[in-house]
Amino acid sequence: MRAQYAAVPAGAPVRLAKSTSNLFRFRADPSGGLDVGQFDRVLSVDREARTAQVQGMTTYEHLVDATLPHGLMPLVVPQLKTITLGGAVAGLGIESSSFRNGLPHESVLELEVMTGAGGVEVVKPGDDLFRGFPNSYGTLGYALRLEIELEPVSPHVRLRHVPFRDAAECAEVVEAVCADRTYQDEPVDFIDGTVFSAGEQYLTLANWTTTAPWTSDYTGNDIYYRSIPARHTDYLTARDYLWRWDTDWFWCSRAFGVQHPLVRRLVPKRYLRSDVYRRVVAWDRRHRFSDRLNKAVQEPVIQDVEIPVDRLAEFLDFFHREIGISPVWLCPLRLRDRAGWPLYPMDPDVLYVNVGFWSAVSLRPDEELGSRNRLIEAEVTRLGGHKSLYSDSYYGEEEFWDHYNGSAYRALKRRYDPDGRLPDLYAKCVLRG
């Protein structure tokens, strides 16, 4: 890797040559890139210490396959199989264990980084690069190896889908469950939610169990999110629970017609997965096929935002009124580490709820492209929330650095990428060059 990096001519863009991506910032990438294909392995799993040594380009699918035979899993397993461990730490990952385990980077014990200066640094929790790496999106360096914590699993997961007609009541229950880790005197190990409309939302409260009277299978004809309003109780294997959202990319597979029963039976299972759909979207963005079919101008609204739980109902009311996308995903989270993470400053005393929405809206004739996303960004700021940067952002430069701690970022950039060989965070996440 060091030799490859040194061979890139001065002034030439540096990027990774990756076969998959879960980013939704579609840019015209230059050809080539650093070959990181050999950094995709789980090096070891320590059953007694409950840790693993993992290379940065290892997907969570491969990581889980390596840890489950030991009765262990990462503390947070993001929803999509081809998210890489290094990507989840350099960006942000989240899942239904985040209300007790925080974000993926909070379970990292040691990090080996190739920096923008071309060297390799081994960093630990007391180091500035360790703290500043999350939310840097490859603009300070690339994770080559990580030591992470693991936790025990049981063979099965029991799910309870609890309905709510009122968003404020739903938010109150989220807060109570996350504080007590119980609901109606039963344990809660995982919590997320699905909003189908302003009057129909569900919390899915799940717990480990050693036995199950039955197990559902959502890797074929049955569709997980459609089971939420239909079933009060459900059971999944541990592995199927971790990947329950991947088969249909939450609900986004409906855009490709594969939720139609006839089409569903014809599509091989190996193609029912998020990375296949994402490649289709990338092809469509390049060739603008959907744009030519649509009479109205469509604005992609693909975002995850963190809202303080006591402002969640207010945000959902705004969202239903101004954006109108459904369903919407909810996932509570609280930071584990009180020292904080400077490039994504969240209050460790606050319980947040991640709100995820991934679709497109038709613009009115007088609306400019980007107007709905800007509206969301302004509302998230007003409510004291945060916005992830894996998709398009529209902030002005000064506002961007106010949100993402520009002074801390510039100090890290000067130290670990003094010649600016890697892109600047604002340039990478906002500018559309």
In a domain, 160, yes or no: no
In a domain, 75, yes or no: yes
* CA-based nearest residue to 19, from 5, 30, 35: 35
Let me know: does 277 contact 284? Beta carbons within 8 Å. Answer: no
In a domain, 83, yes or no: yes
The β-bridge relationship of strands 186-187 and 352-362 is unpaired
Q: Residue 22 maps to which CATH number?
A: 3.30.465.10
In a domain, 135, yes or no: yes
Averaged over successive runs of 10 residues, the pLDDT of the chain (433 residues) comes to: 87 75 59 80 98 97 98 97 96 96 97 94 96 96 97 98 98 98 98 98 98 97 97 98 96 93 94 90 69 72 97 98 97 94 96 96 90 97 96 95 97 96 93 67
Q: What pLDDT does 11 receive? A: 78
In a domain, 381, yes or no: no
Q: What pLDDT does 148 receive? A: 98
In a domain, 230, yes or no: no
Helix/strand/coil for 190: strand
Residue 163 CA neighbour count, 13 Å, CB half: 12
Please tell me the total count of domains within the chain.
1
Domain that holds residue 147: 2-153+410-429
Q: What pLDDT does 320 receive? A: 98
In b/e form, how buried is each residue of 103-131, taking b as 16+ CB within 10 angstroms? bbbbbbebbbbbbbbbebbebeeeeebbb
pTM of the prediction?
0.94
